[in-house]
Chains A and B, each alone.
Chain A
């Protein structure tokens, strides 16, 4: 095991590598991790040299963003397959909309397969965008360096450092129509947040009707104390356990519920093609709860209502800072935040997925109900309910 301080470097094992960025999520401060393929001048050659959530596979698969979860991002790299013009691959982390500085992240570390660890010393860091580390060519072989340097101004100065043009809306369009040149392809760095001003979006319809694996994450703000007096106090007053679940209705009329309460976990490969991944109430898994929808079978699904319910603790929705994020392959992530107060109601319908002519329409709901049964009635789902326990 080699531990690298900022500036330190190490040789790499031969063959394909994985680079894992691990961090403790901070409520209200989303972290985006990206890779930039750089030439000898330290610049990208074009948009195709950026690997991020909107473009997860670049360089014919030599660099791939293979896993994005809250608190964990994994890249797969096959550096020897990169063409000779790529001298460096920089891994970066940026805080969404500069909502916090890296000093707010108690734990941030990069590890590379083969035993390289690069903990990033975030204490007092005023940066909102960081170059975590870089792979670089040295005398015919690839090496890795821990960088841990960045920009207080966030993504914009970081992107321009790497020669990336960020789309800026033009205020005054030219009055004389010029012969339309093909606009340079520009990467859209923003993820999609559904809110009151933009309540729904449709995922681009795929020719083959296969949306791949659609992953839905529910995450929320939990107390981070690890035991002792304070955790006891927080456990009574502030600790809230949220569970994710959904109501589904298939095209053939079958319908049901998927949630840990009642042990209805569903199935990915068979109907209802929706699977709830293991419930974790210990707090050890920090990336919340996940529902997976088999997008290959989307044609068989009519609608899915994703909800969160408070299994334990006093309802205080605003303080939970709950967020549902939908990840679909090749699509920007779609976020819906529970930004409103739900009073004492224990169930919040957060997002509705509907099959509209084969596409996936995602709508923000954020409607509160006393329980799932009341939500069922409001959406006219028509299930029969009984009291259950985990």
Chain B
């Protein structure tokens, strides 16, 4: 039985599963059940330095740049509709390949064309992020975002971060307005 974190909670991955090197970050949500414009949610990852900023454009892993140059982070591709079993999108991380000056990897979900479609996280249900040991296939930790979201169009689901030489995972669940562009700006990427 995997551990479940509450918002703000964290867990030492190295202690929980010492064999953990290659992980799969699964992200999911419920698609809308009503009619109207579909929701297209995109998962992205930002590789961040000690100041919480990207080192350059190569540190932004998203639907148009699926892999970081050193191969530490790889996006499994865009799911357009949120339908299907389990994860809606998945990002693979090889912890042994993460560059030494990357302190943190933030996992973000944004709503595509949220403004034009008048959509927000207040309309998205049952979002989650989970960390799976991709060698053993075992789920290590899970965070169900029981947030009472409102007009946010971008949300940091969780983050992997270094702490005293080990990797930890934090359940974040923090929402922002402004979609993917605002997230990029927040992480020091001026588009």
Q: Chain A: residues with CB nearer than 8 A to chain B? A: 5-9, 121, 125-127, 131, 138, 143, 145-153, 157, 161
| Given A138-B148, A143-B148: A5 and B120 interface contact (C-beta under 8 Å) | yes
**Are A7 and B123 in contact, CB atoms less than 8 angstroms apart?**
yes
B10 CB–A CB distance under 8 Å: no
| Nearest-Cβ distance from residue A177 to partner chain B, whole angstroms | 40
**Are B121 and A150 in contact, CB atoms less than 8 angstroms apart?**
no
**Are A150 and B36 in contact, CB atoms less than 8 angstroms apart?**
yes
| Residues of A close to B32: CB separation below 8 A | 149
In the assembled complex, 26 residue pairs joining A and B whose CB atoms fall closer than 8 Å, in A order, are A5-B120, A5-B151, A6-B118, A6-B119, A6-B122, A6-B123, A7-B119, A7-B121, A7-B122, A7-B123, A7-B150, A8-B120, A8-B122, A8-B150, A9-B122, A9-B150, A126-B36, A127-B34, A127-B35, A145-B150, A146-B122, A149-B34, A149-B123, A150-B35, A157-B35, A161-B34
| Residues of B close to A148: CB separation below 8 A | 118
| Nearest-Cβ distance from residue A284 to partner chain B, whole angstroms | 31
**Are A7 and B120 in contact, CB atoms less than 8 angstroms apart?**
yes
B interface size (C-beta, 8 A)? 15
Beyond A5-B151, A8-B122, A146-B122, list 19 extra A-B contacts (CB 8 Å): A5-B118, A6-B118, A7-B121, A7-B150, A8-B120, A9-B148, A125-B36, A126-B35, A126-B36, A127-B36, A131-B34, A145-B122, A148-B118, A149-B35, A150-B35, A151-B34, A151-B35, A153-B35, A161-B34
B33 CB–A CB distance under 8 Å: yes
| Nearest-Cβ distance from residue B99 to partner chain A, whole angstroms | 38
The digit string for B32-50, where 1 denotes a CB below 8 A from any CB of A, is 1111100000000000000
Residue of B with least CB distance to A10? B150
The 8 Å CB contact of A152, one of B35, B119, B122, B148, is: B35
| Residues of A close to B118: CB separation below 8 A | 5-6, 121, 148
| Nearest-Cβ distance from residue A140 to partner chain B, whole angstroms | 12
Complex formed: what's the CA distance from A146 to B148 in Å?
13
| Residues of A close to B34: CB separation below 8 A | 127, 131, 149-151, 161
| Residues of A close to B36: CB separation below 8 A | 125-127, 149-150
Complex formed: what's the CA distance from A8 to B33 in Å?
18
Q: Chain B: residues with CB nearer than 8 A to chain A? A: 32-36, 118-123, 148-151
Complex formed: what's the CA distance from A126 to B34 in Å?
12
Complex formed: what's the CA distance from A146 to B150 in Å?
9
Complex formed: what's the CA distance from A148 to B150 in Å?
13
Complex formed: what's the CA distance from A131 to B33 in Å?
12
| Nearest-Cβ distance from residue B149 to partner chain A, whole angstroms | 8
| Residues of A close to B122: CB separation below 8 A | 6-9, 145-146
Complex formed: what's the CA distance from A222 to B148 in Å?
43
| Nearest-Cβ distance from residue A88 to partner chain B, whole angstroms | 12
Complex formed: what's the CA distance from A153 to B33 in Å?
13
Complex formed: what's the CA distance from A153 to B35 in Å?
9
Tell me which of B32, B121, B123 has the highest count of chain A C-beta atoms within 10 A of its own C-beta. B123
Complex formed: what's the CA distance from A152 to B32 in Å?
14
| Residues of B close to A153: CB separation below 8 A | 35
Complex formed: what's the CA distance from A8 to B121 in Å?
9
| Residues of A close to B33: CB separation below 8 A | 161
Tell me which of A5, A121, A138, A153 has the highest count of chain B C-beta atoms within 10 A of its own C-beta. A5
Residue of A with least CB distance to B117? A6
Complex formed: what's the CA distance from A9 to B32 in Å?
18
| Nearest-Cβ distance from residue B6 to partner chain A, whole angstroms | 13
Complex formed: what's the CA distance from A9 to B120 in Å?
11
| Nearest-Cβ distance from residue A38 to partner chain B, whole angstroms | 13
**Are B151 and A8 in contact, CB atoms less than 8 angstroms apart?**
yes
| Nearest-Cβ distance from residue B127 to partner chain A, whole angstroms | 13
Complex formed: what's the CA distance from A153 to B120 in Å?
24
Residue of B with least CB distance to A11? B148
Residue of B with least CB distance to A148? B118
Complex formed: what's the CA distance from A8 to B151 in Å?
5
| Residues of B close to A143: CB separation below 8 A | 148
| Nearest-Cβ distance from residue B57 to partner chain A, whole angstroms | 31
Residue of A with least CB distance to B125? A42
Complex formed: what's the CA distance from A290 to B122 in Å?
41
Complex formed: what's the CA distance from A151 to B32 in Å?
11
| Residues of B close to A152: CB separation below 8 A | 35
Tell me which of B35, B119, B149, B151 has the highest count of chain A C-beta atoms within 10 A of its own C-beta. B35
Tell me which of A8, A143, A157 has the highest count of chain B C-beta atoms within 10 A of its own C-beta. A8
The 8 Å CB contact of B123, one of A147, A150, A157, is: A147
| Nearest-Cβ distance from residue B163 to partner chain A, whole angstroms | 30
Residue of B with least CB distance to A147? B123
Complex formed: what's the CA distance from A7 to B33 in Å?
14
Tell me which of A7, A9, A143, A157 has the highest count of chain B C-beta atoms within 10 A of its own C-beta. A7
Residue of B with least CB distance to A157? B35
Residue of B with least CB distance to A145? B122
Tell me which of A127, A149, A157 has the highest count of chain B C-beta atoms within 10 A of its own C-beta. A149
Complex formed: what's the CA distance from A8 to B114 in Å?
13
Complex formed: what's the CA distance from A157 to B32 in Å?
14
| Nearest-Cβ distance from residue A119 to partner chain B, whole angstroms | 11
| Nearest-Cβ distance from residue B20 to partner chain A, whole angstroms | 34
Complex formed: what's the CA distance from A152 to B34 in Å?
9
Complex formed: what's the CA distance from A6 to B149 in Å?
12
